Amino acid sequence: MRRRVVITGMGVVTPLGWTVDDLFTSQIEGRTAVGPISRFDARTFPTTFASEVTGFELGKFLRDAERYAHCGLNTHFALAAGKMAMEDAGLLNPAKGNRSRMGVYLGSGEGSDEFPALVRGLAHASPASGTGPVDAGEFTRVMLQWMDGPREGEQEMHTPAGHIAETFALDGPNQACQTACAASSQAIGEAVELIRWNDADVMVAGGSHSMIHPLGVSGFNRLTALSQRSDSPRTASRPFDLNRDGFVIGEGAGLVVLEELEHAKKRGATIYAELTGYGTTADAYRMTDPHPEGRGAIRAMAEAIADAGLKPADIGYINAHGTSTQANDSTETAGIKGVFGDAAKKVPISSSKSMLGHLIAAAGVVELVICVMALRKGVVPPTINYETPDPECDLDYVPNSAREVRFRHVLSNSFGFGGQNIALIASKFVD
């Protein structure tokens, strides 16, 4: 029999706050974290702004932070979010519970300081045009095939997951995935499956990412994916708006504690929501473009709804992938219509990226946390900077102001670079 899986802990490190409450309050109030890049001198780059985590120090979360001084921000963000999630779940004490039945599944990617060879290549590039040795093809190769092997000074993809397991004494399954913008959502979905089929009782799952460095910004510029609205950075992320011109790169981490229901009840854990649906597909189309008809997205959403034992009409809110790129937003809209039909216009939809920017491998988990909070509070965040409707994007995107909505089931979409599609459904817990 398939076991039920619930969320009993949540932790985030984001540009809009380092606690779940701060993050959600910022979202409901429509605040943005986007501003000029401070991590390096980007004045000559086509894109000069990002959504940064500022003032972060791992020592604020871990007493022995110096142990991780050699690690990049990927690992630092993950450790901080993991500490908060484990503490929230009441599992921080390594003597609590059977640790061999507790594991880690983390979505990760290229870190902030883990590309010395390629970053050195930028010294011979022209930042203003993005030309030089680091071209679009090389950037794509690194994004998708970076596990060819570690280079000097780099960390492998699984490093954050390994550090989390060691730090919090999690001796069970330890896995990592790198499916770009869908990575943390895939990590959560696969962790759910491990618990459902009795391979673990507790999984700490989510993702971490930081690419606000010259290679990240230059590479995405070469792919024409980033907004270049340098005259108004705070309004640059405008999902579904007719005048959108690309996404805003962000960074951060989010981890949730997933737990088998009876295990959670036995120890009196707080249950935030139940993970009821998971759908995963590939477009099998192009590395940098979604399928124009949204076929993979449609199947992922439909699979998640069926996995939860629901019908499309049961979904009360959709947290969209909503990147603010021309292709993603129109394709996602088409995909939602393909699943929900005429009812698509009745479902509130919003994009957290309008305020957070795009946290890449950490985006899905942070957005799921926002979904869980919306489910519990009965209010959904807006899509800010929505000014001019796009005829191809004609659904209800909750423009500019939060809205009170009572619902039982929420759908969270994550569509990744390379055609990865993940859909998750969180539901109000009913015993």
Residue 352: name the closest of 14, 8, 48 by CA. 14
Where is 78: in which H helix or E strand?
Answer: helix 73-89
What does the alpha-carbon distance between residue 431 and residue 410 come to, in Å, rounded to a whole number?
18
What does the alpha-carbon distance between residue 16 and residue 259 come to, in Å, rounded to a whole number?
27
What does the alpha-carbon distance between residue 179 and residue 352 come to, in Å, rounded to a whole number?
20
213 a catalytic residue? no
358 a catalytic residue? yes
Where is 176: in which H helix or E strand?
Answer: strand 174-177
Catalytic residue among 163, 358, 371, 409: 358
Catalytic residue among 321, 371, 393, 409: 321
Decide: 150 and 72 in contact? Cβ < 8 Å.
no
The three-state (H, E, C) secondary structure of the chain, written as one string: CCCCEEEEEEEEEECCECCHHHHHHHHHCCCCCEEECCCCCCCCCCCCEEECCCCCCHHHCCCCHHHHCCCCHHHHHHHHHHHHHHHHHCCCCCCCCCHHHEEEEEECCCCCCCCHHHHHHHHHCECCCCECCCCHHHHHHHHHHHHHCCCCCCCCCCHHHHHHHHHCCCCCCEEEECCHHHHHHHHHHHHHHHHHCCCCCEEEEEEEEECCCHHHHHHHHHCCCECCCCCCHHHCCCCCECCCCCECEEEEEEEEEEEEHHHHHHCCCCCCEEEEEEEEEECCCCCCCCCCCCHHHHHHHHHHHHHCCCCHHHCCEEECCCCCCHHHHHHHHHHHHHHHHHHHHHCCEECCHHHHCECHHHHHHHHHHHHHHHHHHCEECCECCCCCEECCECCCCCECCCEECCCCEEEEEEEECCCEEEEEEEECCCC
First to last CA, the chain: 17
Catalytic residue among 71, 76, 158, 181: 181
What does the alpha-carbon distance between residue 305 and residue 146 come to, in Å, rounded to a whole number?
33
Q: Which residues are catalytic?
A: 181, 321, 358
